[in-house]
Chains A and B, each alone.
Chain A
Amino acid sequence: MDLHSRVPSGPIELKWDKHRFEMKLVNPANKRKYTVLVVGSGLAGAAAAATLSELGYNVKCFCVQDSPRRAHSIAAQGGINAAKNYRNDGDSIFRLFYDTVKGGDFRAREANVYRLAQISVNIIDQCVAQGVPFAREYGGLLANRSFGGAQVSRTFYARGQTGQQLLLGAYQQLEKEIARGGVAMFPRTEMLDLIVVDGRARGIVVRDMVTGRIETHIGDAVVLGTGGYANVFYLSTNAKGSNATAIWRAHKRGALFGNPCYTQIHPTCIPQAGEYQSKLTLMSESLRNDGRVWVPTRAGDARPPDQIPEEDRDYYLERRYPSFGNLAPRDIASRAAKTVCDEARGVGPGGLGVYLDFADAIGRVGADAIRERYGNLFEMYERITDENPYRVPMRIYPAVHYTMGGLWVDYNLMSSIPGLHVIGEANFSDHGANRLGASALMQGLADGYFIVPATVSDYLASTKLEKIDATHPECRLVQEETAVSTRRLLGIKGTRTVDSFHRELGRIMWDKCGMARDARGLQEALARIPELREEFWRNVNVPGSDTELNQALEKAGRVADFLELGELICRDALHREESCGGHFREEYQTEEGEALRNDELFAYVAAWEYTGRDAEPRLHREPLDFEYVHLAQRSYK
């Protein structure tokens, strides 16, 4: 298999414009004749479905929630980046591009990142036109805040609910197109497999989650915007329903999986409280604009925070990274928290926490200003912990948050299966080995509103597709296989619940493939996960039937996929003998404990090919060139 990134030639700032001109167009009268299947209605999926419909294509859109408005994107808090330079603080498209490539620890494709920075500007315009109520200054202009990994203020926000407002904007455009008849929406419908005919993606098999009916939908192109796979760790900041099933099953049909081991651990989450914990809650990174992170200087100091005087506190981010301070990028801030907790300087139950303290900020600007900026986050914190963060410092700890890895795509966001496009968090994306804050919303919307509508048109205009319907032998086969594996899950009737397997997998992943990894631990995980998977298929208990709403069955299918994906993540982590971004291998670090990349051997995208059950996946490499941002050790000191 040849990996073609299809990056256009020419200077980086002209590539996208040139490519847009060179791409083929579909005649307006012919667009109606094409059907595009969009799976997912998060920022990426809803934006793509609405825009493709506006262009005139027939769109079918699928999501697992009861309404497209509930996709996981709704939970994004802090903001969205754009190189508007409204603050006149030296921002530019090139600077956003530069920050993102550097923030990703030089493991992203330059041309994609540059395009993302260019489009960021249009996104804000688009969202304002839709009525997204971004925060404003008194003069009526848009307001900005800062996020990690940047020294400019380029983040647009709507209180602590930016994702909600952006998603509602996209959802409303989607509903507009549903009403017009351009989009047929299928909520509570889960994609369970991909149909590939003559080497091209031509359809999907779905399960109606209310009736259990398994059906086939045929289209001329398929777009997956199904989100990330952080829930492979069981505990994460993602919504409970976030899953890898759509991308994993597409992977098994031939789509390469890019950089699965690049997972992001977010430094500021509410620490776990007990065994029953079902998910972790993020406290937005924007809090680090005003909150100061510290722990006691002395190990085992058990005094309450207000009794620890200044001289006994270690503001370790400000100390170690003076120029970025509390706004050091996520991977660095998370590892620094782990380091101080490993030194027994952590706070709260089990010593797994650090303080995020607002006392100085409240002293400086007053409690009301802080409430205005973060009121809903403070409330959320208090509800969960029963502690008032206006009075006592928050306790935070890193948690799994985002997955930079995903299905490999070329410059057109097309996977290695022609006709299968992948957008948003589901693709291996533009964030390299570490994503900077406020850039996932930007990427999801860039992909959905601006990139994929153009590249799907080009694909359709330059491809001749045979007419098929659901009676095509390949469709029947895939549909039958889906029905069989669903019945198989129900037939095991073992003794362990689906969740108990999921928790166990999550623990293995967190211990062996979490914030820090080493060869021995990864090898242990690679031995343990197949055993757990074997036990799952022998001993899981999935109650109920396949002809009803059956949440245990839905979960079982997803956990079955996580049990396979988890192994690939560990394999990828083991093969990458360097540290970069969120992938930190204990064996490869500088004397000061910073990540040590190996550009000579590992400046490539690892794209894994599925080769069959229990067979070793095959590794393909897409070399990465850095022409515009020179390879250097990242420094935030």
Chain B
Amino acid sequence: MNLILHIWRQASPSVPGAMVRYEARDISPDMSFLEMLDVLNERLMERGDAPIAFDHDCREGICGSCSLMIDGLAHGPHRGTATCQLHMRSFRDGAEIRIEPWRARAFPVVKDLVVDRGALDRIIAAGGFISAPTGGAQDANTILVPKPDVDTAMDAAQCIGCGACVAACPNGSASLFTASKLTHLGLLPQGQPERYARALTMVRRMDLESFGHCTLHGECQEACPKEISIDTITRMNRDFLRAGLTAGRAAVAESD
């Protein structure tokens, strides 16, 4: 296949970027999207040009590194598919494809198609864990978890932290990301003691980073390569409200 690519090039965070046109000839439909970019990069380098920087690692849809807006869609046209799992057979011969980095205030561009997603780690650090220091655990089978609960927890826990939800959201909100962690931990018996405190600190952290607010557009669940549902956001809002009430009551009790 032969393709025309328009790709975002930006040398560093401090200089302006622009779309640049490239021709990609003799591309096999069995190539993955990233292999197509590899081929383009090899050709650019053979010509003495700078290759296009993009994040990738596992190339099987699990590490969450790859992060491309393809024709305006986070991870491209297919549902439940990360960029690295997309194959060129999904495009038509002669197609023109626009390739851009995640666009969100909270994800500054580092170079070309590479962005800084450190804000997502900081949301986890704000409470996205169960405090279980090594050594003190009881026998695993003494904690019973109903199968439906663990299955729903697992649906949410599958989040790969790629940030597609943020990139797809018109407001640049990280609600789906945050809610999936809250749902995963909040559904398990082990996660109960810190459940409401967790909701409070994670949501507050999300607001402190430059993410926007959730107005339930639902674009995030369309873009999510793991098809995590926005039901998780409802759960998050519920836990957050309850946490706010509890925190308020605690503050009143303290001032008494």
Contact of B58 among A72, A134, A544 (CB under 8 A): A72
Contact of B81 among A141, A278, A383, A499 (CB under 8 A): A383
A69 & B35 in contact (Cβ 8 Å cutoff): no
Name which of B56, B58, B130, B147 has the most chain A CB atoms within 10 A of its CB. B58
Report the minimal beta-carbon distance from B132 to chain A, rounded to whole angstroms: 4
Q: Which residues of A contact B129 (CB under 8 A)?
A: 130-131, 172-173, 175-176
Q: How far is the CA of A210 from the CA of B185 in the complex (A)?
A: 33
Pick the residue among B31, B46, B50, B145 that contacts A274 (CB under 8 A). Answer: B31
Asked whether A141 and B141 contact (CB < 8 A) given A240-B57, A383-B81, A548-B11, the answer is yes
Q: Contacts of A241 on B, CB cut-off 8 Å? A: 57
**B65 interface residue, CB < 8 Å from A?**
yes
Across the interface, B190 reaches (CB within 8 A) one of A70, A72, A131, A138, namely: A131
Find chain B residues with CB under 8 A from A497 CB. Answer: 42, 45-46
Q: How far is the CA of A161 from the CA of B96 in the complex (A)?
A: 35
Let me know if A131 and B188 touch, CB within 8 A: yes
Q: A-B pairs with the 5 shortest C-beta distances?
A: A140-B144, A172-B129, A129-B137, A125-B137, A129-B132
Do A122 and B125 touch across chains, with their CB atoms under 8 A apart? no
**CB–CB A544/B150 < 8 A:** no
With an 8 Å Cβ cutoff, the count of chain A residues facing the other chain is: 78
- A72-B57 contact in complex given A176-B125, A383-B85, C-beta closer than 8 Å: yes
Q: Are B157 and A551 in contact (CB under 8 A)?
A: no
User: Which stretch from A163-171, A290-298, A418-426 is at the chain B interface?
Assistant: A163-171
In the complex, whether B184 has a CB less than 8 A from a CB of chain A is yes
Can you give 14 contacting A-B residue pairs, CB < 8 Å? Answer: A74-B160, A125-B140, A131-B185, A133-B150, A159-B154, A172-B128, A178-B121, A276-B28, A380-B85, A497-B42, A543-B45, A543-B51, A549-B114, A552-B45
Contacts of A139 in B (CB 8 A): 144
The answer to whether A541 and B45 touch (CB under 8 A), given A178-B125, A548-B12, is yes
Cβ of B22 to closest chain A Cβ, rounded Å: 16
Query: How far apart sit A11 and B215, CA to CA, in the bound complex (Å)?
Result: 64
Which residues 157-200 of B have a CB within 8 angstroms of A? 157-158, 160-161, 184-185, 188, 190-191
Which residues from chain B contact A551 at a C-beta distance below 8 Å? 51, 53
Residue from the list B81, B141, B185 in contact with A142, Cβ < 8 A: B141
> Could you tell me if B111 and A549 are in contact, using CB atoms closer than 8 angstroms?
yes
In the complex, chain A residues whose CB is within 8 Å of the CB of B117: 66-67
A130 touches B190 (CB 8 A): yes
Given contacts A281-B60, A386-B89, A548-B111, contact A175 B121 (CB under 8 A): yes
- Decide if B114 touches A70 in the complex (CB within 8 Å): no
Instruction: Judge if A187 is at the interface, Cβ distance under 8 Å.
Output: yes
Report if A129-B130 is in contact (Cβ < 8 Å); known contacts: A67-B118, A161-B158, A210-B110: yes
A270 to chain B, nearest CB (A): 10
B100-136 interface bits toward A, Cβ cutoff 8 Å, 1 = contact, 0 = none: 0000000000110010111011001110111111111
Interface of B is mostly: loop
Contact with B along A269-294 (1 / 0, CB 8 A): 00001101111010000000000000
Does A75 sit within 8 A of B, measured CB to CB? yes
- Bound complex: CA of A74 vs CA of B58, how far in Å? 8
- B235 sits at the interface (CB 8 A): no
Q: List residues of A (139-189) whose CB comes within 8 Å of B's CBs.
A: 139-142, 158-159, 161, 164-165, 168, 171-173, 175-176, 178-179, 185, 187
B255 at the interface (CB under 8 A from A): no
Contacts A67-B117, A70-B57, A129-B130 given; indicate if A164 touches B38 (C-beta within 8 A): no
B139 touches A136 (CB 8 A): no
* CB-defined contacts of B161 to chain A, threshold 8 Å: 67, 69-70
Judge whether A131 and B140 touch: CB under 8 Å.
no
**How many residues on the B side are at the interface (Cβ–Cβ under 8 A)?**
76
- A608–B125 Cα gap in the complex (Å)? 41
Instruction: Determine the distance from Cα of A136 to Cα of B189 in the docked complex, in whole angstroms.
Output: 14
Q: Which of A338-390 contact B (CB under 8 A)?
A: 379-380, 383-384, 386
> Which A residues touch B138, using CB under 8 A?
125, 129
CA distance A240 to B41 in the complex (A): 15
Complex: A274 Cα to B30 Cα, angstroms: 8
In the assembled complex, the Cα of A54 lies from the Cα of B131 at a distance in Å of 11
Once bound together, how far apart are the Cα atoms of A185 and B121, in whole Å?
11
Across the interface, B59 reaches (CB within 8 A) one of A129, A140, A179, A279, namely: A279
B63 at the interface (CB under 8 A from A): yes
| In the complex, A534 has a CB within 8 A of chain B | no
* Residue in A133, A276, A549 whose CB lies within 8 Å of B39: A276
Q: Which residue of B lies closest to A124 (CB)?
A: B140
Cβ–Cβ contact A168 & B62, under 8 A: no
Contact of A126 among B51, B57, B81, B132 (CB under 8 A): B132
Which A residues lie within 8 Å of B39 (CB)?
A: 276
Residue A450 at the B interface, CB < 8 A?
yes
In the docked arrangement, what's the CA distance between A127 and B144, Å?
14
The minimal Cβ–Cβ distance linking B153 to chain A, given in whole angstroms, is: 5
Residue numbers in B under 8 Å from A185 (CB-CB)? 121
Which residues does chain B contribute within 8 Å of A69, judged by CB atoms? 64, 121, 124, 161
Known: A122-B137, A131-B130. A274 touches B150 (CB 8 A): no
Least CB distance from B147 to A in Å reads 5
A551 to B113, CA, bound (A): 12
The answer to whether A173 touches B132, judged by C-beta atoms less than 8 angstroms apart, is yes
Chain B minimum-CB-distance residue to A211? B12
Contacts of B51 in A (CB 8 A): 543, 551-552
Instruction: Give the complex CA separation of A86 and B140 in angstroms.
Output: 10
Q: CA of A74 to CA of B126 in the docked complex: distance in angstroms?
A: 22
Q: How far is the CA of A357 from the CA of B138 in the complex (A)?
A: 40
Are B63 and A239 interface neighbours, CB within 8 A?
Answer: yes
How long is the Cα–Cα vector from A151 to B33 in the complex, in angstroms?
41
Scoring A residues 514 to 526 as 1 if CB is less than 8 Å from chain B, else 0, what string do you get?
A: 0000000000000
Does A135 count as interface, using CB distance less than 8 angstroms? yes
Minimum CB–CB distance from B17 to chain A (whole Å) comes to 14
Contact B87 A383 (CB under 8 A): yes
The minimal Cβ–Cβ distance linking A581 to chain B, given in whole angstroms, is: 26
Query: B143: CB under 8 A from chain A?
Result: yes
Mark out the residues of chain B between 29 and 49 whose CB falls within 8 Å of any chain A CB in the assembled complex.
30-32, 34-35, 38-39, 42, 45-46, 48-49
Known interface pairs A67-B117, A380-B85; A239-B57 also in contact (CB < 8 Å): yes
Q: In chain A between 26 and 80, which residues have their CB closer than 8 angstroms to a CB of chain B? A: 47, 50-51, 54, 65-70, 72, 74-75
- Knowing A67-B120, A241-B57, the reply to whether A128 touches B158 (Cβ < 8 A) is no
> What is the CB-to-nearest-CB distance from A135 to chain B, in angstroms, rounded to a whole number?
7
A548 to B50, CA, bound (A): 12
Contact partner of B150 among A86, A135, A239, A278, CB < 8 A? A135
Q: Quick check: is B16 within 8 A (CB to CB) of the other chain?
A: no
Q: Does A137 contact B (CB under 8 A)?
A: yes
